[in-house]
Amino acid sequence: MNSDDRRAIFTVSQLNREVGLLLQQGFGRIWVQGEISNLSVPRSGHWYLSLKDAGAQLRCAMFRNANRLVGQPPRDGDEVLVRGRLGLYEARGDFQLIIEHMEPAGEGALRLQFEALKQKLAAEGLFEPERKRSIPSNPTCLGIVTSATGAALRDIRAVLARRCPLIDVVVYPTLVQGDRAAAGVEDAIARANIHGEADVLIVSRGGGSLEDLWPFNEERVARAIVASRIPVISGVGHEVDTTITDLVADLRAPTPSAAAELAAPDLRERMAVLTSHAAQSQRALRALLAVRTREVTTLHHRVTLAHPGRHLEQRAQRVDELAERLQRLAYSRLQIAGQRLNALDSRLGGQHPRLGLQRAARHIDQLQTALTRATVRKLDDQRMRVGAMGRELEAVSPLAVLNRGFAVATNPEQQVIRSVSQVSAGDAIDLRLTDGVLRARVETTIRARDGTSGENVDGQS
């Protein structure tokens, strides 16, 4: 077999893919500093650019999910520090850097130094809570390491004047910004420890940029704070700022004013606490006095009860009580006997015959009155019924019908004629009207047919 048949042959795509993997695995994530050029922002939102220095350039891409975290979009000519991973754009075989993070170059370098020092000091255990000392709760002298003309000192003095105007304050002035500031802060901390006046030391300055606060991120300042025999409170910058000084100090305050509040007690709060304790003590004493008073009263009562004169008084009072009860009992018995005698007398008087006759006469009068009332009511009821019946009869009386223009026909025998079949032509009939009788003779009879026509019974119409 020919040796050429055993050679490894890559396609272009395979080779570019393998080279890309080698670049990613060989370098991992790296930091690169350079100047932006050829920045392009297509509609997709991704950024494509080049990083260059005096001798070379590097093609870069920063995708939308990463570049949206960048506060201010970059421009050509900006010096930046980026973190990303190396790769290969397989379609064109271009070597490029995929950027994941971007920041201005100056501040970015400082942040790298900050992170490096932070990791170094953390490895030594200088940030551990166990290493740090407690802050005295009642300091008599407060040392301040800061600028003699800065706003931080004015803020601290204002807080101390409000909270604890009696505390002694010693200022150890130093530069807090610039190249010589770190050495000045270190020297001021050393002087405070040499003098030994302060019970607590505040290392402070106002807010600023990362460059402004950089002296408080220097290792020499951190070592000076760790070596200090006086507990140190760090009050550097604003609440959002974090420095190495904050991390190694015994107590971190978000601002210079807050550092003063943490260092000095509030006399008004202390007075309020003392007043509360005094009130509690007074209440406790009053309660104890009340208990002791009750105990003395109880003992005095017991002694009084045990005295012989007290027993004689009790016996005499008992005799008086029994005598009074005996008197009440005798009076009650006499009263009951008198009531029984009166009851018997009343019963005897009630049995006299004269009283029985009087009661019988009254009963007869009552019965006679009731009979008269019942008779009157009965007659009234009968009259009302007769009147009602009369009205009913009058309503159905034939005479009432006659008054409306009708007549009653009767034969000579005074039988009421109800049908034409009861009479014949030539018969005599009487027609009774409301005011008399008409004597008439029947000429002909006509029977009603369907209520609309008649029929001549005798053949006459």
For tokens 């609309």, what's the residue? 452
Higher pLDDT, residue 446 or 317 = 446
Residue 436 predicted with pLDDT over 90: no
97 class by beta-carbon count within 10 Å (0-12 exposed, 13-18 middle, 19+ buried): buried
Quick check: 455 pLDDT over 90? no
Q: Where are the alpha helices (DSSP H) in 28-128?
A: 64-67, 105-123
**367, amino acid identity:** L
Segment among 80-94, 99-113, 219-233, 360-374 with least mean pLDDT: 99-113
CA 191, 115, 131, 142 dihedral sign is positive
Structure-block tokens of residue 25: 């695995």
10 Å CB burial of residue 145 (0-12, 13-18, 19+) is: buried
Percent with pLDDT over 70 in the chain: 88
Triad 326, 332, 337: Cα angle to 5°: 130
Q: Quick check: helix, strand or coil at residue 445?
A: coil
Q: Answer whether 108's CB lies under 8 Å from 71's CB.
A: no
185 token code pair: 């802060």
Which pLDDT tens digit goes with each residue over 7-25? 788 887 878 788 878 877 7
Distance, CA of 185 to CA of 179 (rounded, Å): 11
Q: Indicate the residue type of 288.
A: L
pLDDT one-digit tens code per residue, 274-299: 677 777 888 888 888 888 888 888 88
If one compares 302 and 289, the residue with the highest pLDDT of the two is: 289
Q: At what angle do helices 256-263 and 151-163 cross, to 10 degrees?
A: 30
pLDDT digits over 41-72, tens only? 999 989 999 999 989 999 999 999 998 888 77
pLDDT band at 309 (very low <50, low <70, confident <90, very high): low
| Cβ(60)–Cβ(96) below 8 Å | yes
Q: How far is CA 424 from CA 142, 158, 235, 369, in A?
A: 157, 149, 149, 69
What does pLDDT average to over the chain?
83
Residue 271 predicted with pLDDT over 80: no
pTM over the 0.95 mark: no
pLDDT at 38: 92
What are the tens digits of pLDDT across the range 75-103? 888 888 889 988 888 788 788 899 999 88
Answer whether residue 417 shows pLDDT above 90: no
CA 361 from centroid of its chain's CA atoms: 87
Helix (H) or strand (E) run with residue 22 in it: helix 12-27
Residue 403: pLDDT over 80 = no
CA distances, 413 to each of 57, 286, 406, 416, 439 (Å) = 159, 132, 21, 9, 13
CA distance 349 to 352: 6
Give residue-wise pLDDT tens across range 377-388. 888 888 898 888
Work out the average pLDDT over 177-197.
92
Note whether 38 and 107 are within 8 A (CB): no
